Amino acid sequence: MNPVTANRRHYEDLAVGEVVDLGTTTVSKEMIISFATEFDPFPFHLDEEAAKASLLGGLASSGWQTAAISLKMLADSFLNTIASMGGLGFSDLKWIKPVMVGDTIGGTATITALRRSRHHPERGIVTLDFDIRNHKREPVMTMRLANLIELRDPSAPLEAAE
Amino acid sequence: MTRWFEDITIDEAFPLGSHAFTEAEIIRFGQLYDPQYFHVDPEAARHSHFGGLVASGWHTVTVGHRYMVDALFAEEERLRGLGQEPGVSGPSPGVNKMEFRAPVRPGDTVSYTLTVTGKRPSNSIPGWGILFNTIEAANQRGELVYHAELVGFSKLRDYEMPLRLRLLMALTRLPVLGKLLAPRNG
């Protein structure tokens, strides 16, 4: 038994359809410039004038920052309450609308699938669909994330879990 | 790779560089964006199936993005050095697929490679092309760390905007009329 995750929810405790409220985060100019300086130093993420002239139309966060902030909100509200074993990856990440200076983003992650790992049947895979919006309720980002989770009973027959 | 859309070659692999991950930067990224125990607490991480601290997959990916941006700027410099006008890269509309494979541990060195696997002119944004990019990251033992399939924008060199569109764009720059003409969702 993993002492870190013993008292957290496991694979058997989750259900498809559960909606995780991610809360909200306000994205400041300082946050945008700090992240862009380290990871995405395109002029349209660093400089207001360059940003106005770009496809973004103004200083906007790196899409990777929008995703990283969404991930932080998921860790705080969900991943650190379950027996998470880390991410497998994601698919269909769409940056729908730029996140501009002063925007407040937030939203939900909904459990859309739960299954046992084919290669490691003692592990479960939880799939979460993100719906991230700005304070005007406009969609800014969607993605589908796959995360590994411990089984409470790793020896449970596969059929019982399906 | 800041080349004009027309000059981008398909299936040519560009090495983007290598990055050595330290324990301190793994923990720092984890605390900021992915504060799960195996990304931020070396002691607790020993109880995880990783058996120790590992970098958030998102950390290795954003570092890879940084190396790609640096490579774009380097190519831009190279083209200017040759007396050519470099192309223009635009923001990315998204990522089709991202698979995290081998975990990255403190001390690991990750090498990134970019390949453009396909391109076509954009249907929604006149004057721009869409690039389908693959980034693969491997550790010092050659094990695949992640495989990513990304989408990017690149400007067309040979594009001439139709007169009707040029007129419309000029009108949308007028303060009052612009608000009426501008598309609702950007």
Contact B91 A95 (CB under 8 A): yes
Q: Do A3 and B99 touch (CB under 8 A)?
A: no
DSSP one-letter string for A33-98: HHHHHHH---HHHH-HHHHHHSTT-S-B--HHHHHHHHHHHHHHHTGGGBTEEEEEEEEEEEE-S-
**Between A79, A88, A93, which is nearest B95 by CB?**
A93
Smallest Cα distance from A142 to chain B, Å:
9
CA distance A39 to B63: 6
CATH superfamily of B5-157: Hotdog Thioesterase (3.10.129.10)
Complex ipTM? 0.94
Instruction: List pLDDT tens digits, range B100-148.
Output: 999 999 999 999 999 999 999 988 888 889 999 999 999 999 999 999 9
Smallest CA–CA distance from A35 into chain B, residue: B62
**Per-residue pLDDT tens digits for A104-133:** 999 999 999 999 999 899 999 999 999 999
Q: Is residue B176 very low, low, confident or very high in pLDDT (cuts 50, 70, 90)?
A: low
Strand partners, A113: A127
Distance CA A69, CA A66 (A): 5
Nearby residues of B30 by Cβ (< 8 Å), 6 or more positions away = B36, B39, B40, B55, B56, B59
| Whether the Cβ atoms of residue A90 and residue A153 lie closer than 8 Å to each other | no
Domain residue extents for chain A: 11-27+63-161
Identify the residue with better confidence: A50 or B25: B25
DSSP classification of residue B22: P
Q: Which CATH architecture fits A11-27+63-161?
A: Roll (3.10)
* Residue B154 · residue B8 · CB < 8 Å: yes
Is B94 in Cβ contact with A92 (below 8 Å)? Answer: yes
Contact partners, residue B77, CB within 8 Å, separation at least 6: none
Largest CA distance in chain B: 65
Residues of B in contact with A84 (CB under 8 A): 36
Q: How many CB atoms lie within 10 A of CB A133?
A: 20
Give dist(CA B82, CA A118) in Å, integer: 53
DSSP β-bridge partners for residue A90: A145, B98
CA B40 to chain centre: 25
